[in-house]
Amino acid sequence: MRILLIPTIADDALAVGKSLLPPGYTLILGDPKEGGPALAAKVRQADVIIGFIGRLPPEAWEAARGQIKLIHTLSAGYEEIELDKARELGIPVCTNGGANAISVAEHTIMLMLAAYRRLPDLVATTRAGKWRGLMGEVRYYELAGKTVGIVGMGNIGREVAKRLRGWSVHTIYYDVFRRSPAEEAELGISYTPLDELFRQSDVVTLHTPLTKETHHLVNAERLALMKPTAVLVNAARGGLVDEAALLAALNDKQILFAALDTLGQEPPPADHPLLRHPNAIVTPHVAGPTWDSWPRRFANAYANVTRIARGEPPAWLVPELRG
């Protein structure tokens, strides 16, 4: 099988991918930055496409017709892939099978704690040569005893729930597919309708794909439901949040804090108001790519390629293409 990897990744990460390549498989390197015709030429040499796949140029889709048997993302997100085009050409599109779920879950917990303890302010204070001020002047909070609402109970949502079990929190969740009583008991989670989750939660954390249905899931109306001491965490996709509404909610003290690993435009403009807001933390969409996650990403991709080679259906097909 000939595997086209796009776009360009760092040499050390590429070395991981090459070291795990099954015998007889070939890895071809390509990048949309080369231009549509150049990428199309690479597509015509390949059987499958893997990588952090964004919007492909028309020439690449045309070259994929009758040629490409699988598109497999190394990320959990797939919103930029033209699923209608993939459906037309009969190409299955699959996610990374939760390869980055642990990474994102850990980053999510970090964002919760960083928000409650105002970590960026503390670091800036000590770097400026200052020490703590009047005791009790700034309000820091504990995670213990709080209600955490998880929106989306997929691979990442499950890993977040697992990690919260030792934090003495009450964990509620919303997902379009309610989990079984046994799984809810195993994870220590309680199903809650979406708007009620926003009302009850001290921390709301988002772990759902970006689709037409979830675009601006967090809007002015839902922000108005939240407690004035609540924290919003988004380590999923920027388009889930109406950023203008979030900025207004922070300025009006409708909520306490926002901790974000992703924004609607990436990279954001230098003057984006959330980047320097006193009640916001923004990290540069780095929750997923820990060094530990690279072997899992490639192993899952190659396993799916092997399934296709054997004539079996692939795993982790995106929901929109199932059936």
Which residues face 70 on adjacent strands?
A: 48
79 is annotated as an active-site residue: no
Positive or negative, the Cα torsion across 257, 263, 267, 272?
negative
Angstrom CA distances, 49 to 16, 19, 84, 246, 252, stand at 17, 18, 17, 37, 46
Cβ neighbours of residue 76 closer than 8 Å, sequence gap 6 or more:
95, 96, 98, 100, 101, 104, 155, 156, 209, 288
Residues 122, 126: Cα–Cα separation, whole Å: 6
31: left (phi over 0), alpha (psi -120 to 50) or beta: beta
Exactly one of 80, 142, 183, 266 is catalytic; which is it?
266
The Cα–Cα gap between 243 and 229 comes to 19
For residue 285, indicate whether it is catalytic.
yes
Residues in the chain: 323
Q: Establish whether 266 is a catalytic residue.
A: yes
Whether 280 and 259 have beta carbons less than 8 Å apart is answered as yes
What whole-number distance in Å separates Cα of residue 251 and Cα of residue 244?
11
Identified catalytic residue from 179, 237, 296, 297: 237
The amino acid present at 211, given as its one-letter code, is T
Give residue 38's Cα distance to chain centre.
Answer: 30
- C-alpha Rg value of the chain to the nearest Å: 21
Find tokens 């020439």 and name the residue: 59
Q: Is the separation of the CB atoms in 266 and 243 below 8 Å?
A: no
What lies within 8 Å, CB to CB, of 62 at 6+ separation is 40
Query: Which residue's entry shows tokens 């109406």?
Result: 242
Residues with catalytic annotation?
A: 237, 266, 285
